């Protein structure tokens, strides 16, 4: 997760909204406490976490968890900002704090029905990031309870941001990282939050769990069962619920089906996935986000190119490819509740070519639990991210960063690798 997020942060630093947010935070100023990655600015810790979180999510290529929770892009920015604010920590302590936040977030994660359109990242990640930051800043047990209660009051966000292709998707991620730092600092200074933020009459289990969550189960088998192992990592740079259809389109391409002979493509998704990525593809103000959250675009792109890469989702590529747009118009997406029984990421794809029907199906998308990516897949994605960066790292920086990540738990100073995450081209 750490390698994934650092890679996507480097690659996403120049995406829409990132430079603008950086400029705004520099205008606002404040005590220099932590570092913005890639750019190397010295900002207040909460501001650094905010900017780094937005950059980490900008490509939507980071870790995720069904039904749409993104944790790492808030946890890692909050952790690094808190570590610098503290004056540095070891690699082992960094890993531990991130694991703590990831486990808290994973256990608080709800179902599609319970979220009912709420953004899981906006609901859960602020609390998870606070657990990570609070651990690093050395909060007492009582202070950490207060910090988590304060973070509970920062929870929110809607999947309408994703459906509308807005930059709020990545901003929510940054807000969660920022909240992790600020809530920990507020509690450290004596601010109190609701102690019974989980099981109180108006607590998490009631407001978000709709009285269907057993709060005792949230702490069951702590230290023995790790919910964070339910995390998924994307094989392709688009929404997690487009991973299966992209894989199926690539299977169709590998079977010999050429894009120019396709008359029609039928995509069948579970209702939840359909609501998020099944709408008609229409690039608007944020073409990358529109493409990432469109099954039509992802299928057409994969059939046309025989691959799905970061370069295919740039704003210029999305808006200038007439061939992709024309093929996407022949992709028809429907919802079928029967797919729910097969899995959250299940999908079917039927390609019709000159009267012939070619059927493809998948129950578990690549990268999801049960169909994990290989170490080679992870390494390829990390290197692809570094190669796609508008503000690249030097070869020596990339080499040292890879070595640091490989030996992270043995590093005496985890913040030492920040220097290798700053691009000289961005200064």
Domain map (residue ranges) of the chain: 2-233+374-426, 240-362
pLDDT per residue rounded down to tens, the chain (427 residues): 999 999 999 999 999 999 999 999 999 999 999 999 999 999 999 999 999 999 999 999 999 999 999 999 999 999 999 999 999 999 999 999 999 999 999 999 999 999 999 999 999 999 999 999 999 999 999 999 999 999 999 999 999 999 898 999 999 999 999 999 999 999 999 999 999 999 999 999 999 999 999 999 999 999 999 999 999 999 999 999 999 999 999 999 999 999 999 999 999 999 999 999 999 999 988 899 999 999 999 999 999 999 999 999 999 999 999 999 999 999 999 999 999 999 989 999 999 998 899 999 999 999 999 999 999 999 999 999 999 999 999 999 999 999 999 999 999 999 999 999 999 999 7
What does residue 380 show for φ and ψ, rounded to 5 degrees? -60, -45
Q: How far is CA 349 from the centre of its chain?
A: 26
Per-residue confidence (pLDDT) for residue 355, from 0 to 100 = 80
Q: How far is CA 214 from CA 30, 109, 219, 274, 301, in A?
A: 43, 13, 10, 29, 43
Q: Which CATH number describes the domain made up of 240-362?
A: 3.30.1330.120
Tell which CATH classification among 3.90.650.10, 3.40.190.10, 1.10.3720.10, 1.10.4100.10 matches the domain 2-233+374-426.
1.10.4100.10
* Angle at the Cα of 408 from the Cα atoms of 402 and 413, rounded to 5 degrees: 110
Per the prediction, the chain carries an average pLDDT of: 96
- Fold agreement (2-233+374-426, 240-362): no
Q: How far is CA 83 from the centre of its chain?
A: 22
pLDDT digits 0-9 by tens, 223-243: 999 999 999 999 999 999 999
């Amino acid at each position: 997760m750490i390698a994934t997020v650092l890679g996507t942060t480097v690659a996403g630093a120049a995406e829409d909204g990132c430079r603008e947010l950086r400029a705004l935070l520099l205008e606002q100023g404040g005590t220099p406490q932590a570092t913005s990655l890639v750019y190397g600015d010295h900002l207040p810790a909460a501001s650094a976490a905010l900017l780094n979180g937005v950059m980490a999510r900008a490509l939507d290529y980071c870790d995720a968890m069904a039904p749409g929770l993104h944790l790492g892009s808030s946890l890692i920015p909050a952790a690094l900002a808190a570590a610098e604010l503290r004056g540095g920590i070891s690699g082992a302590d960094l890993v531990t704090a991130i694991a703590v936040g990831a486990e808290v977030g994973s256990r608080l994660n709800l179902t599609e029905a319970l979220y009912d359109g709420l953004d899981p990242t906006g609901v859960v990640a602020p609390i998870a990031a606070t657990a990570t930051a609070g651990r690093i800043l050395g909060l007492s047990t009582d202070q950490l309870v207060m910090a988590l209660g304060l973070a509970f009051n920062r929870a929110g966000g809607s999947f309408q941001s994703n459906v509308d292709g807005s930059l709020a998707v990545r901003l929510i991620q940054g807000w969660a990282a920022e909240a992790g730092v600020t809530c920990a600092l507020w509690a450290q200074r004596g601010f109190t939050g609701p102690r019974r933020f989980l099981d109180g009459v108006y607590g998490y289990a009631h407001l978000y769990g709709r009285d269907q969550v057993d709060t005792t189960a949230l702490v069951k088998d702590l230290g023995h069962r790790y919910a964070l192992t339910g995390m998924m990592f994307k094989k392709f740079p688009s929404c997690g619920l487009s991973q299966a259809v992209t894989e199926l389109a690539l299977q169709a391409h590998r079977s010999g089906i050429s894009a120019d002979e396709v008359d029609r493509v039928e995509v069948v998704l579970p209702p939840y996935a359909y609501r998020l990525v099944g709408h008609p593809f229409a690039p608007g103000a944020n073409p990358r986000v529109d493409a990432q959250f469109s099954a039509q675009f992802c299928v057409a792109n994969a059939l046309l190119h025989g691959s799905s890469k970061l370069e295919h989702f740039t704003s210029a590529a999305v808006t200038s490819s007439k061939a992709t747009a024309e093929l996407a118009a022949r992709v028809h997406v429907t919802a079928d509740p029967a797919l729910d029984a097969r899995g959250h990421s299940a999908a079917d794809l039927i390609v019709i070519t000159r009267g012939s029907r070619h059927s493809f199906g998948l129950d578990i998308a690549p990268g999801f639990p049960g169909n994990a990516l290989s170490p080679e897949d992870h390494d390829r994605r990390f290197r692809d991210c570094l190669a796609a960066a508008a503000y690249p790292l030097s070869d020596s920086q990339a080499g040292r960063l890879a070595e640091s990540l490989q030996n992270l738990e043995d590093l005496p100073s985890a913040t030492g690798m920040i220097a290798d995450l700053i691009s000289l081209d961005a200064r």
